[in-house]
Amino acid sequence: MEFREHTLDNGLQIIAECNDEVHTAALGFFVRTGARDESDKIAGVSHFLEHMLFKGTPSRTAEDVNREFDELGASPNAFTSQELTVYHTPYLPEYQTRILEIWADCMRPSLRTEDFDVEKKVIVEEIRMYQDQPPYGAFDEILQLHFRDHPLARSVLGTVESITDLEVADMRGYFEARYCPSNITLVGAGRIDFDSFTAAAARTCGHWEAREAPRETPPPPAYGSSRHVDVKATSTQEYLLMLSNAPAADDPRRYTAKLIGAMLGDDSGSRLYWELIDTGLAEFVSLGHEDYQGAGVFCTYAGCEPEAVSQTIEKIQAVFREVEQNGFTQEELDRAKSKATSRLVLSSERPRSRLFSVGGCWLQQGAYRTVKQEIDAFRAVTVEDANQLLREFPFTETTMLAVGPLGELP
């Protein structure tokens, strides 16, 4: 296992965790852009652009792109978040150069008007699909309520209206501004021939014009508690989300925050699990730590029958009060560490999952960390660390959103 890095003259960074013990590899272009870099006029453009990257280049049609990936047995995929757009695929090592060449070409798309118009319909279908599934899309909504005029308030999907009104010229402008080499990192994991990897990248990406793509990372807004209701009459269940502030992505306390998430809200065996799921009060509940540049949140998410909402809220708040007053126990911290360690090792066996850990850590923390370093960081967390963190980021200041048939919260 060896970590390698290289930067092209135009600023494109190339990093890889090279592992000759495995039989496959994965690569991804990680672009530091997402909903937080948009404005009202172009809401949803990052995600729409992600779709357009598969629509062809001056030398390839969309059909060529799909066919060529399939010919190499590769399944290309992509996702867009508040602050990242990632294009990735696992592949067989013998196809490294060809896979890299196709992706590099896709990263300079034609953005043709005809393709833009067809894909617009697909995006609208995607939004409508989520609208029919009340649990989805609610996370975007609570980020808006919690972060208000902060960039992290922006929705990844946008709305049917913002997408319909979007013009191809706006997308081209956004692409020019954000997809410059200094804002992109090429990441590899698994059986990577790094010298050949960088040579292919230099050949295919070296001519991209160097430019800067700044991003503002203001601190999260000061806030108190607030409650909101989004009435969806056709929904069967009521869905509850609660956000409170937590350590940001570059904060070393993020490991403590992840373990707090596991102790309180893992989908099995956590405090919320025993109070809400084992008793049959709620359909599901989770509490997790989400981290961004300059900000982080604890997100609690539950679904239950509308009649059970007030009891569900009370139980969740009782769990919060109890832990804030009496702290965590050593036993539950040990179990959370054991789970976290096991998950890390299991996912590290697959280059296609390791890719996201290596790339995410590099972009969010500006560093490479081995699996062992990650495990050690979890093992070093103490009960007092966890208790102290909750004193600084109390659950008492929480933004709450209910989505479902209820007109108001009890």
Partner 1 sequence: MSIHIHQFDNGMTLVAEELRSLESAAFCFLVPVGSAYDPPARAGLTSFVCEMVQRGCGSMSSRQFLDALELLGVEGSESVSLAHTTYGGATLADNLLPALSIYADLLLRPHLPPEQLEAGRLVSLQELRGVEDEPAQKAMLELRRRHYPAPWGQPSIGDVSGLQATTIDDVRRQFAQGYRPGGTILGVAGKFDWQALKSHVGELFSGWSVADLPEPGYGPRGATRDHIPFESNQTHICLAYDSVPLSDPDYFRAWGAVHVLSGGSSSRLFSEVREKRGLCYTVYAQHRLLRDRGIVTCYAGTSADRAQETLDVTMAEIERLYEGVEADELDRLQARMKSGLLMQQESSSSRSMSIAYDWYHLGRVRDLAEVSRCVEELTPESINSYLVGHPIANLTLLTLGPKPLEAPHGVS
Query: Contact positions toward partner 1, by CB under 8 A?
Result: 21-24, 54, 62-63, 66-67, 69-76, 90-92, 118-126, 128-129, 131-135, 234-237, 268-269, 274, 277-284, 303-305, 331, 334-336, 338-339, 341-343, 345-346, 349-352
Helices (H), 148-276: 160-165, 168-178, 194-205, 254-265, 271-272
Tokens for 278? 């084992």
- Decide: 116 and 52 in contact? Cβ < 8 Å: yes
Instruction: Check: CB of residue 204 under 8 Å from CB of residue 60.
Output: no
Quick one: 136 or 223, whose CB is closer to partner 1? Answer: 136
Burial of 186 (0-12, 13-18, 19+ CB in 10 A): buried
Q: Which is nearer to partner 1, 341 or 387 (CB)?
A: 341
Please report how close the Cβ of residue 259 comes to partner 1 at its closest, in angstroms.
12
Closer residue to partner 1, CB minimum distance, 23 or 207: 23
- Name residue, tokens 């699909």: 129
Of the two residues 8 and 189, which places its CB atom closer to partner 1 in the complex?
A: 189
| Complex with partner 1: residue 207 or 343, whichever CB lies closer | 343
Q: How many Å apart are CA 240 and CA 257, to the nearest integer?
A: 21
Write down the least CB distance from residue 20 to partner 1, Å.
11
Alpha carbon distance 408, 402 (integer Å)? 9
The smaller minimum CB distance to partner 1, of residues 73 and 252, is found at 73
Shortest Cβ 47–partner 1 spacing (Å): 12
Minimum Å gap between C-beta 239 and partner 1 is 8
Task: Spell out the residues 6+ positions from residue 253 whose beta carbon is closer than 8 angstroms to its own.
Answer: 247, 385, 389
**Nearest approach, Cβ of 78 to partner 1 (angstroms)?**
12
- Helix (H) / strand (E) element for 91: namely strand 85-91
Amino acid residing at 260: I
Going by their DSSP bridges, the two strands 13-18 and 25-31 should be labelled as: unpaired
User: Which positions ≥6 away from 70 have C-beta within 8 Å?
Assistant: none
Nearer to partner 1, 206 or 269 (CB): 269
Nearer to partner 1, 121 or 203 (CB): 121
> CB of 172: closest distance to partner 1 in angstroms?
20
Q: How far is the CB of 114 from partner 1 (least distance, A)?
A: 11
Collect contacts of 266-271 with beta carbons under 8 A, ≥24 apart: 266/336, 266/339, 269/335, 271/319, 271/322, 271/323, 271/332
* Residue 334 CB, nearest approach to partner 1 (Å): 7
